[in-house]
Amino acid sequence: MSSNGGAPYRSDEPTSFELQPPQPNLPPVVPHPDNPYATPAPPAAPSAPTPDPGTGRLIAGRYRLLAKLGHGGMGTVWRAKDETVDREVAVKEPRVPDHLPERERANAYERMRREARAAARLDHPAVVNVHDVAVVDGRPWIVMELVQGRSLGDALQEGTLGARDAARIGLEVLGALEAAHAAGILHRDVKPDNVMLGRHDRVVLTDFGIAQIEGETNLTDTGGFVGSPEYIAPERVLGQRPGPASDLWSLGVVLYAATEGVSPFRRSNTPATLQSVLNATPALPAAAQGPLAEAINGLLQKDPARRPDAARTRALLEQAANPPVQAATQVVRIPESVKRGIVLGPKALLGIGAAVVAGAVGAYLVVADPFAGPLPDHWKVREEKVLGASLAVPDGYKRGVPDETDDGHWVTYTDESGAIWIGLRLDKKAEDTGNSIADSAAAEMYDDNSDFKEGTAYDLNMAEGARTKPEGETTYQGKSAAENTVAYTTTDSQNPRPREMRIFYYKTSAGNMYKLTVNYPGKGDFTDRGREVAQTAVDNLKIDDL
């Protein structure tokens, strides 16, 4: 292993040699630094963007470079146009530090050629398609399909995946690995940043840059370590001959990270990470249960002979991705009177307190109603006696800790990812000395609606100009209720994020006002999940005193 010239090890450092990143005249934040295959989001409204050096260059007489997409351990990836067939492609430009010896430079170029050969040999929808290798001044430029989407690593920055989504993605990656192994190819760098989430639910395994092709000579760099430490199998750390089980270990770590939010072996530096790969026993996954947990635990066996093979892994992941019909459909057994759902409004969040809301920029709970049918697996009913209501919460969700702003009238539950949160608040008529409770649920909703547009409702870092969709009066168990949906952007100047919030209002016959709020990402892979959670929360809310 390389000492990097005396510099401290980092778990995210380039794995075969140190690559100096490109220095374009653009804002310093690169949207997709670790996954060059994804099309990044537009930069935050630069006043006069300067084209990247090299933009407009024609490669091999047909590939016009349009813009840089990002960079990785082997080079810089450009969005380009194939002018021969008039389509956009991704082109990987080899970038090798000038200070490297000629032998290591040659190894780097040969590794890129092997990446192209490895991917081109595979005919599978979950493997990135390689169109061409253009040699310019002795350097290979890889031309491949442009996958519109983002990496699993980027998606996990917003929160974890549910068991079914993780299993579905795992099945696609497993299919790509099975195709590679059948062709005598080991990927050797399976990690979230190399798993693309494309359009139409497509999952693509990318970056065969360090793949080992059966029958070809091994490439090594002097003192170099090839691979991403926290995803490398123990036998590779020990210098033993890897096999398909080594890639399956990496898949197990990816599935663990997808459901738990972090690799179980990540440490502060590379040596410590490798030691944990060899010796640490990861905690059992909390979010993954049943067949998915069995698959993860099996794939993370230190002894490759004890890991399940691809066929057994596929069977477990299929069970997790397609649970029995009863478990998959039970949450939609709801009465017509509550199908439209329940959400919470601005004033309700004020009672939650800034510290709780800020610390929970995402958590979710789902609420139980006796008419909604049996709860999904791994959920628990939480009775909130002070609020006179019951909530159904997935296992592992944390109840908010009250602070000095707590008046005993609110509760929140937050998952560890922080992507989605749910709050329930009760304003009692007997304590409403300022007559702030409106005459009806719909009137309360419209009062809050104007505050949302001004960005003054709740301490949610909500910018002005939120878009609202008041549904007006609806019903809850046959009685009047109201709801609203609010789309807004956070005020974080460094990283403003789109958020969405559903709010349900219900006023009891005693004049008490309930508000159920579900807050989740406004764009990305977790938006649909957040909306599903919001609907389920509404459908399963139980208020004791109607």
The answer to whether residues 314 and 251 touch, using CB atoms and an 8 Å cutoff, is no
Write the CB contacts of 225 (distance below 8 Å, at least 6 apart in sequence): 1, 2, 15, 16, 270
Nearest to 150 by CA among 526, 420, 495, 490: 526
HEC secondary structure over 165-231: HHHHHHHHHHHHHHHHHHCCEECCCCCHHHEEEEHHHCEEECCCCCCEECCCCCCCCCCCCCCCHHH
Residue 195's beta-bridge partner residues?
205
Q: What distance in Å separates the CA atoms of residue 543 and residue 546, rounded to the nearest whole number?
A: 6
Token pair for 348? 């309700």
Spatial strand order of the sheet with 389-394 comes to: 379-384, 389-394, 542-543
Q: What distance in Å separates the CA atoms of residue 274 and residue 520, rounded to the nearest whole number?
A: 36
Q: Which phi and psi angles does 536 have, rounded to 5°?
A: -65, -40
Helix (H) or strand (E) holding 58: strand 58-59
Q: Where are the alpha helices (DSSP H) in 306-398?
A: 310-321, 325-329, 346-350, 354-359
Residue 533, exposed/middle/buried by CB under 10 A (0-12, 13-18, 19+)? Answer: buried
* Helix, strand, coil % in the chain, rounded to nearest 5: 30, 25, 45
Annotated binding site: 92
Q: Which phi and psi angles does 533 have, rounded to 5°?
A: -65, -45
Nearest to 265 by CA among 533, 536, 11: 11
Residue 386, exposed/middle/buried by CB under 10 A (0-12, 13-18, 19+)? Answer: exposed
DSSP letters spanning 447-512 = HHHHHHHHT-SSSS-BPS--EE---EEEEETTEEEEEEEEEEEB--SSS--EEEEEEEEEE-TTS-
Would residue 189 show up in a list of annotated catalytic residues for this protein?
Answer: yes
Could you give the 3-state DSSP secondary structure of residue 127?
Answer: strand
The answer to whether residues 371 and 478 touch, using CB atoms and an 8 Å cutoff, is no
Residue 470's beta-bridge partner residues?
none
The answer to whether residues 26 and 135 touch, using CB atoms and an 8 Å cutoff, is no
Could you give the 3-state DSSP secondary structure of residue 357?
Answer: helix
Annotated binding site for ATP: 92
Q: What distance in Å separates the CA atoms of residue 191 and residue 34, rounded to the nearest whole number?
A: 11
Q: What is the DSSP code (8-state) at residue 535?
A: H
> Which candidate in 82, 165, 189, 207 is catalytic?
189
Q: What distance in Å separates the CA atoms of residue 56 and residue 317, rounded to the nearest whole number?
A: 45
Catalytic residues: 189
